[in-house]
Amino acid sequence: MKGFLLKLLPVFILLEILSGAPGITQVNKKKALHKKNTPNILFIAVDDLRPELKCYGSKHILSPNIDKIAKRGFLFERAYCQQAVCSPSRTSLLTGLRPDATHIYDLFTHFRKTTPDVITLPQHFKNNGYQTQWFGKIYHAGLNDSVSWTIAGKTFENENNWRSYVLEESNIIADKNKGPGPPFEKADVQDDAYPDGKIANHGIEALKQFRTSGKPFFLALGFYKPHLPFNAPSKYWDMYNAADVKLPDHMYPPDNAPALASSGWGELRAYSGMPAKGELSKEQSINLIDGSYCLIINKLSSLKAMAKTILITPLQRSDVVYINNRKNNAWGSYTYKSGQSL
């Protein structure tokens, strides 16, 4: 696909993995036809990842693994979210209904209260003989839908540490604030010290188990980062040099843009050290941007590990890996929040 969309748009990447399937004999033709009609699905949701990736023209971002997926699959450039709020947009995607049909406009109402008989995407696969399982954040936090799944999943969020800090000093601040601590954390730990690392590891194990079961599967993995706070192992921070981070020339909303289109970034202001009102300092902006960059690398490392697993247990020609990044406005975030612009 020629050209890149440099505006804020969602990333939808659909990958058909080619495994060099053997020739079909008369004996196994029926079996092969069955497999052709029941592709396995790996569904990956990434919270707050906007299309600031090399495959979308952002040359300063290190995104080799997702770039490879984009090159081999389909990269969608004009797919928009239905509502600029987490739960309504996730609900819309997973039910196929617009928010004005689900009547979900907040973060607390479960869609089963407003549309009790709706069939969700994973539920549809379940109803057609698939094994369905999830890890991480698929539906909005606390709003999981048990009828969508044949196998129970796990969020990996610590109930008493809702932003999953690992450093003692960060936890002290978070406990004092009853939730949000520092807006970012750099810790010398392994990937699985944070929830996303655990999600990736469990996803890999689930893939291996599904491949040996002989049944088609729909596996959904919902990664929390790069949602605030920007917490990641130090090795990913070290891949970027904060001194090289550049702030945009234009730091403000477009001329004549309606006030409703801009964010007061109240979520970011809740974190320790962030101003209650007014602008961020240059140092704060650079630190936050640097943190968001390192989280992209962190996420792509998870994808690389899964890619290796897929190669070990090769998928069929018709199997599909689907990646989406859900967030406000157009499934991307932090516009005008940390000195970044469209």
Catalytically annotated residues? 86, 140
* Adjacent-strand bridge partners of 220: 43, 134
What residue has token string 């003692």? 168
The alpha carbon of residue 182 and the mean position of all alpha carbons in its chain are separated, in whole angstroms, by 22
Q: How far is CA 62 from the centre of its chain?
A: 17
Q: Which residues pair with 218 in a beta bridge?
A: 41, 132
Give the separation between CA 242 and CA 226, rounded to whole angstroms: 17
Q: What span, in angstroms and rounded, lies between the C-alpha atoms of 284 and 93?
A: 34
Nearest Cα neighbor of 245 from 183, 214, 279, 288 is 288
DSSP state of 25: P
State the angle between helix axes of 282-312 and 195-213 in degrees (0 to 180), rounded to the nearest 10: 20
Alpha carbons 102 and 107: distance in angstroms, whole number: 13
